[in-house]
Amino acid sequence: MEVLNSGYLSIGPKIKKFEKKFAEKIGTKYACAVSSGTAGLHLALLAAGIKDGDEVITTPFSFVASSNTILYVGAKPVFVDVDPLTFNINPGKIEKKITRKTKAILVVHIFGQAADMSPILRLAKKYHLKIVEDACEAIYATYKKRRVGTFGESAVFAFYPNKQMTTGEGGMITTNKKSVYEICSSLKNQGRAPDMQWLDHKYLGYNYRMDEMSAALGLAQLEKLKFLIKERAKIAALYDKHLKPFKNKVNTPYTATHNTNTWYIYSVLLNKAVKRNTVIKKLAEAGIASKPYLPSIHSINFYKDLFGYKKGDFPVSEDISARSLALPLYIGLKEKDVKYIVDSLLSIIK
């Protein structure tokens, strides 16, 4: 209401305040609010100087936007298969994919848990590669006590309604580099420099601005972010508890000991012999939504057409994609609901 009454519906004080508070919470010097996580990744890659002909190492087990934004800047996503337990990029397989064209590693922290950053940081240093973090699914997650969003030259968060916090649509780029903050701030605003007049343009820019209403929502969500994550963790623990006796039937999520998980989703792995589509259909008949989550990016048709990927190229990622099932996870889900979901799932599998 404050925003609506103020007359500033965009480019106003709430954006500035949201950026400042967000940077404080994550622990970076700067934060730049944008219209979506995808827009943020696009700008972060531009700010990193990634361009036509460059290669960027990344994971095939992610939401398609992480890899699409590499294509936006004319570079080639070079996939590295993932760890079978955390589903994050496997650092041991990165080095042999580095070529003279490799400029950066786009690290995705998938499902709410950080990628194994120590070996990734070592490789980046050795080969002079930039790191851009896709932290869209892992706000507030920590790796060896350090928050995601503080490891790379830049990091990107997303606020679509299915994320841990939301602004409707929206995203945020965090960085400790003033130059990255300034370039992103300009590019999201049609390439204007801060000291330029409204119709002067320094770069080829975009309109990737977040509006003031979204920023106000974001500020309110930030205030209760700890609570939002704690509630998600409680529900995840309930699933763990009720699923534990059935380990041989349903694999529950694994969180590495040096990680804290902020539970973007709760995804189980079904046995190979179980027909996942049938499970989804029967769960729906019992009033339970579930989703195969996620398809491997290299198996998406236009990636196959562009790069000639085939089955077996990234077997770990493919195996997870074929067997993972996201169960309902939202604040307000009660223990009796979790019990009902688990009982239904087990009886369908049986």
Using CB under 6 A as the criterion, which residues of the chain lie in contact with ligand PLP when the complex forms? 36-38, 62-63, 65-66, 108, 134, 136-137, 158, 160, 171
Residue 41 backbone dihedrals phi, psi, to 5 degrees: -65, -40
Residue 305, both tokens: 């057409």
User: What's the longest Cα–Cα distance across the chain?
Assistant: 67
Nearer to ligand PLP, 98 or 108 (CB): 108
- DSSP bridge pairs for 173: 32, 156
161: how many CB neighbours lie within 10 A of its CB? 9
Min dist. Cβ of residue 122 to ligand PLP (A): 24
Q: How far is the CB of 323 from ligand PLP (least distance, A)?
A: 19
Which residue's Cβ lies closest to ligand PLP?
37
Task: Say how far apart CA 296 and CA 294 lie, in whole Å.
Answer: 6
CA 174, CA 11: separation in Å to the nearest integer? 19
Q: Among residues 156 and 338, whose Cβ is nearest to ligand PLP?
A: 156
| For ligand PLP, the closer CB: 137 or 211 | 137
The Cα 276–Cα 91 span in angstroms is: 30
| Other beta carbons less than 10 A from residue 212's beta carbon | 22
Select 174 or 344, whichever has its Cβ closest to ligand PLP.
Answer: 174
Amino acid letter for position 134: D
Calpha distance 195→198 (Å, rounded) = 9
Cβ distance to ligand PLP smaller for residue 65 or 320: 65
Q: At its nearest, how many Å lie between ligand PLP and the CB of residue 136?
A: 4
> Residue 135 Cβ, how far from ligand PLP at the closest point, in Å?
8
CB of 134 to ligand PLP, least distance (A): 5
Residues 6+ apart with CB under 8 A from 322: 272, 276
Taking CA atoms, 11 is separated from 101, 207, 318, 346, in Å, by 38, 12, 43, 51
Closest-CA residue to 252 (of 242, 261, 262, 243): 243
Q: Minimal distance in Å, beta carbon 202 to ligand PLP?
A: 25
Question: Residue 77 or 171: which CB sits closer to ligand PLP?
Answer: 171
Q: C-beta of 34: minimal distance to ligand PLP in Å?
A: 9
For the record, the structure tokens of 1 come out as: 């209401």
Nearest to ligand PLP of 162, 179 (CB atom): 162
Pick 88 or 344: Cβ nearer ligand PLP: 88
How far is the C-alpha of 104 from the C-alpha of 192, rounded, in Å?
Answer: 26
- For residue 41, the minimal CB distance to ligand PLP (Å) is 6
